[in-house]
Amino acid sequence: MTADERGTGTVGSEPVRADASGGETSGTAVRAEAESIVGEVARRIADPQAVMRITGTAVDRSPGGRESLIWHPSALNEGCPGVALLHAELGDRRSTHAYLSVAAKEAMSGGGGLFAGLPAVVFATRAAASRPGDYASLMDRALPAVRAAVRDLTRDETGRIAAGRPGTAFAVYDIVQGLAGLGRLLLAGGEGDGAAADAVDCLIALTQDVEVGGVRVPGWWVTHAPIRDTSAGDGHFNLGLAHGIAGPLALLAIAHREGLRLPGQEEAIERIVTWLLDRLSGGSWPTVVTLRELVDVPDRRHHEHQVAPDRPSWCYGSPGIARAIQLAGIALDNSAWRRAAVSVLRATLARPWDTWGVVDAGLCHGWAGMLHMTRLIAADDGAEDLDGAVDGLARRVAGCFDPEAPFGFRYAAGAGADVAPDRAGFLEGAAGIALALHAYARGGPPATTWDSALLLA
């Protein structure tokens, strides 16, 4: 890894170019267009019953022919809580309440992670509460169940670690299903001395090395495959923000920033950041490192072996990992880490954008996610020279608006995947895209802190 990638050298002084397709359109004009699109999307997804008539039976089909429903009423990703976030951000109490009412009736469990069931409803409800006592009865019912689910999860995982049994799973620690997302939910509610602390403490323990086949490896070794329905092989170490170690890193950093500081927390943060930076090459990280790769060449430094540029994204791409490292640098006042994070973003933006492999506008792995992450990283670094890139990304998102689509945007997965194109929700649908456009247009942090669900803030 080069000095710039570690953040110990100088970051290039040449300003990152804006998207060449953007022409001379001013940022003011782009912001006006973005806000207009936001209003139109909100109008189209104001009625949950109308939305569910389209989404309720939509399915994705796997290459093997298996079908899976995409809409789940109580899900944050593609469900009522995610759409409620947009209406809450825009101050539309009527539409927000309509979506939350449907979600609350469907949510049955405090488990399943931040993106499902009662945790998803709690997140959206907290975002929607604008007056003292708003949704108090719902929160009084839901929060104890969420706390109990978190404590069950931490008890089981802490027991596994204490017993010396190596091997964890996404559902234990990640943002979508595990302790990173659930910990962020509880931390936002002032749970720093309760279940949130339990989650943080468990993630600290997860960073300790474990022995696998006589070799010491990081404790976040995952035994299952990175993609469902594929061979697990010998397990792997996941790097992404959504399902990898970057998610716990983000929570540990945010908790530290918010005043929740436990024994070993700073050491755990440093351990993760060092491991990630050792695997950075050419401005990109690999998606996963297999156990065999780590064991066969334990002293390998990945910067000596070029990593193919990834698809920039929140879920698995380098910008999402860079944001987690930036948050760690802010929390521990480590300027080298902060420089490294911005250097990765600059390297990504310097690549021709049409080679990125981005095929939709969504938050998860589309243009809206890149727009929001670039805004956040640039703002926290004070990198005003990235303003042109931010405007260019906003133009890309706006350019995906399709007035013929029922929700204004259509989802695509690439590689010939057979997916439902009309999605109204948060990660892959119109609500999430509109949230990113709205944040761009208003030029500040979201009023509802919706991006904390992504552990970007």
State how far the Cα of 212 lies from the Cα of 66, in Å rounded to an integer. 34
The answer to whether 364 is a known ligand-binding residue is: yes
**Amino acid identity for residue 223 in this structure:** T
Residue in 357, 386, 381, 363 with CA at minimum distance from that of residue 439 = 363
Helix extents (H) in 24-135: 27-44, 48-55, 80-90, 93-106, 117-128
DSSP conformation class of 10: P
Structural tokens at position 102: 């449907």
Residue in 113, 148, 141, 111 with CA at minimum distance from that of residue 125 = 141
The answer to whether 224 is a known ligand-binding residue is: no
Residue with tokens 């939709």: 360
3-state secondary structure of 284: strand
Residue in 82, 127, 146 with CA at minimum distance from that of residue 429 = 82
The answer to whether 202 is a known ligand-binding residue is: no
Residue in 429, 278, 441, 255 with CA at minimum distance from that of residue 331 = 255
DSSP conformation class of 73: T
Within its chain, how far is the Cα of 261 from the centroid? 23
Question: What is the DSSP code string of 153-217?
Answer: HHHHHHHHHHTT---B-HHHHSSSSSHHHHHHHHHHTT-TTTHHHHHHHHHHHHTS-EEETTEEE
Q: Backbone phi, then psi, for 181, in 5-degree steps? A: -70, -45
Which residues define the annotated binding site for Zn(2+)? Answer: 315, 364-365
Which residues define the annotated binding site? Answer: 315, 364-365
